[in-house]
């Protein structure tokens, strides 16, 4: 079990870094959005075009990346939307069992299905080097590839959560607490 928990900790570390990167991309997205608005109005005022579709599409792509890169981080920290009105009064083991089976029966197949359904459109996009239909637009293949990356990271984080939940179910709370687990496993 200790080697599985170390593997889980490694996945958690990757999710943390991607979560941090996602937060930094929010700042960059806002900065590019601010530039787009400012350039549009200043350009109208002086009679020149100071912005282009490249900046607008870059903003869209960064906005998408914020979500794609944060899926695993959100799962790790348990900051996804939950309805806990019954769950809150359950024992630690009961909560872990519910989360374990929910992750195993629903989230794991969802991730696998997401990867499977996305692979062919992404490959097609790369082989045809799909471009944006807008003038001076960006290629679509790189951002579409990030959908697969998002699902793979969500899958890995799901596996990490399953390992930690299994440790709680087995009664290995001390080991799990040493990993500094966040909300989903801080079960009172």
The runs of H, that is alpha helices, within the chain are 2-46, 53-77, 92-102, 108-127, 141-169, 173-178
Phi, psi of 139 (to 5 degrees): -70, 150
Q: Which residues of 137-172 are buried (b: 16+ CB within 10 A; e: fewer)?
A: ebebbebbbbbbebbebbbbbbbbbbbbbbbbbeeb
Nearest to 77 by CA among 175, 174, 160, 148: 160
Q: Which two tokens stand for residue 27?
A: 């700042």
pLDDT at 173: 57
Give pTM, 2 decimals. 0.83
Distance CA 144, CA 98 (A): 33
Domain assignments of the chain as residue spans, ordered by start: 2-185
pLDDT at 157: 96
DSSP summary character for residue 89: G
pLDDT at 179: 45
Q: Which residues contact 21 (CB under 8 A, 6 or more apart)?
A: 69
Taking only the tens of pLDDT, the chain with its 188 residues reads 778 889 999 999 999 999 999 999 999 999 999 999 999 889 888 888 888 888 889 999 999 999 999 999 999 988 877 767 777 788 888 888 988 999 999 999 999 999 999 999 999 999 999 988 888 889 999 999 999 999 999 999 999 999 999 998 888 754 444 444 444 444 33
Q: Which residues contact 62 (CB under 8 A, 6 or more apart)?
A: 25, 28, 29, 32
């Amino acid at each position: 079990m200790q080697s599985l928990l170390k593997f889980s900790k490694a996945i958690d570390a990757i999710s943390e870094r991607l979560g941090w990167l996602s937060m930094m991309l929010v700042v960059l997205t806002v900065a590019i959005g601010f530039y787009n608005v400012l350039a549009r109005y200043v350009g109208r005022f002086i009679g020149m075009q100071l912005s282009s579709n490249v900046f607008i599409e870059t903003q869209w792509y960064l906005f998408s990346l914020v979500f794609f890169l944060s899926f695993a981080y959100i799962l790790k920290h348990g900051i996804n939307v939950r309805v806990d009105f019954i769950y809150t009064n359950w024992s630690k083991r009961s909560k872990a069992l519910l989360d374990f089976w929910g992750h195993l029966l629903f989230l794991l197949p969802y991730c696998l299905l997401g990867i499977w359904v996305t692979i062919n459109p992404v490959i097609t996009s790369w082989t045809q080097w799909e471009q944006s239909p807008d003038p001076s637009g960006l290629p679509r293949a790189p951002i579409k590839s990030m959908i697969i990356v998002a699902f793979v990271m969500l899958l890995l984080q799901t596996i990490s959560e399953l390992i930690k939940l299994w440790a709680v179910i087995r009664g290995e709370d001390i080991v799990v607490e040493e990993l500094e687990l966040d909300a989903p496993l801080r079960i009172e």
